[in-house]
């Protein structure tokens, strides 16, 4: 699946607009499903996705995330079962994380301070 979310931090009162860009290719009814996220912040997108997928009657539904910011949650009761790291409210780059398409190719995760990557 691929989703695009926007607006949660843009003064919309915590409401994000979520758009499906690609749906599942397989049925999930009766199957165990693990959602893989890079970062979980407010939980709005994950919550929407979970509600949508539960309608398809999976046997179980859980989430795993590399970076977690539980103190930013606007939604409770998310099925986050596995967390790589709980991180502070900073901007991370590298290892696939980018800012304006920059720094994505760094082999490690770094904190972006202003326009300088902190190692």
Instruction: Report the catalytic residues.
Output: 41
Question: How far apart, in whole angstroms, are the C-alpha atoms of residue 25 and residue 31?
Answer: 14
- With contact defined as beta carbons under 8 Å apart, do 27 and 47 qualify? no
Give Cα 114 distance to the centre of its chain: 23
In the three-class reduction of DSSP (H, G, I as helix; E, B as strand; rest coil), residue 72 is classed as helix
Residue among 64, 66, 7 nearest 39 (CA): 66
Residue among 69, 62, 106, 108 nearest 85 (CA): 69
């Amino acid at each position: 699946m691929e989703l695009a979310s926007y607006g949660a931090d843009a003064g919309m009162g915590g409401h994000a607009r979520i758009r499906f860009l690609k749906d599942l290719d397989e049925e999930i009814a009766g199957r165990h499903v693990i959602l893989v996220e890079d970062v979980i912040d407010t939980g709005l997108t994950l919550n929407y996705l979970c509600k949508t997928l539960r309608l398809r009657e999976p046997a179980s539904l859980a989430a795993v995330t590399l970076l977690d910011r539980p103190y930013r949650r606007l939604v409770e009761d998310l099925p986050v079962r596995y967390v790589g790291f709980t991180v502070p409210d900073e901007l991370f780059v590298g290892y696939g994380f980018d800012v304006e398409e920059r720094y994505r190719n760094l082999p490690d995760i770094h904190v972006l301070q202003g326009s300088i990557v902190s190692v």
